[in-house]
Amino acid sequence: MFALISADGIKSPSCPLPSTPTKDKPKEKPKSSLKKCSSTFEVDLNRIYGGQDANPMEFPHQVSLQVRFLDSHICGGTLIDQQWVLTAAHCFSRGRYPFSWQVKVGEHNLKEKDETERTLRVKRVIVHEQYNRTNQVNDIALIQLLEPIDLEKEKHLKTVCLADKNVVVREEYYCMASGWGRGNKGRIVTEVLQKLKQPIHNSTECAKIWEKSVWPVTENHICIGDLQGSKGICNGDSGGPIQCRLRTGEWVQFGIASWTIRDCISKGYAAVFTGVSGYLDWIDKQMETYG
């Protein structure tokens, strides 16, 4: 009944809301290893299964995770730092050996050579130590690139902001999913990056949607979808983002595509995403540990 959505089968800093001043001197927090992120990228609001072509570099943080030498797209991901990519743990069912993988940044059309695209080597794959492949709990992973990207030189690339723990999931947020996953023409992947406006549901609502599921929905999950069964994410979209525009106008990533119904879309169901806000400390710890 359920299926992972890989093709084969913001913390930067996290754009926190302003804090309330206090009389007492606040304790100094550990310095984040994450660099500046971009919450102001231009999304075409007038324009994935049932999705539409994204404009070139409309999502400058989006990456394609590929099998090296084959240039075969497996999963999506997001650039969260000049040397780090956020994706889903189940994308590495083939193995975690860095030499087997490559990351394409600045990608738009998988079948054509884009002027903005660049293929990067992988130094390290870090899957969450409590990831459970039998029920997809803690479906989150990090990729450390072999060399950092010079974001000052490659200004078309940007790092995404991750949703802070204090940012509440609200249904009125304008949210966009993006990826190269299977579309309504039946291809394994789509050639051009797709985008799709989707409603977002918090963990409580998500648990109700999937109350009969054998895979648990936890407080670290969110759901994406309109429940009408007409549009949604599919094979190849795994690891990709759901990004939402906050009331402040900032865009942040709320989740990582994890799993959905086997046929990708079905009335009454919504895709399950790993909520990033519950993993900010884990992300920061890995980046501080491995530099």
CA-CA-CA-CA torsion for 204, 205, 209, 211, nearest 10 degrees?
20
In 3D space, the residue among 85, 108, 101 whose CA is nearest the CA of residue 159 turns out to be: 85
Whole-number Cα distances in Å, 133 to 60, 100, 231, 234: 30, 20, 26, 19
Catalytic residue among 33, 238, 258, 277: 238
Q: Where are the beta strands (DSSP E) in the chain?
A: 2-4, 52-53, 62-67, 72-81, 84-87, 101-105, 118-127, 141-145, 174-181, 189-197, 200-201, 221-224, 241-245, 251-261, 271-275
Give helix then strand counts, H and E, for the chain.
Answer: 2, 15
281 as an active site residue: the answer is: no
277 as an active site residue: the answer is: no
CA Rg value for the chain: 18
β 221-224/189-197 pair status: unpaired
Q: Cβ distance 241 to 78 under 8 Å?
A: yes
Sequence-distant (6+) residues with CB within 8 A of 276 are 10, 11, 86, 140, 162, 163, 253, 254, 255, 256, 283
Catalytic residue among 33, 61, 139, 258: 139
Catalytic residue among 61, 90, 201, 221: 90
139 as an active site residue: the answer is: yes
* Dihedral over Cα of 80, 290, 67, 103: its sign: positive
Positions annotated as catalytic residues are: 90, 139, 238
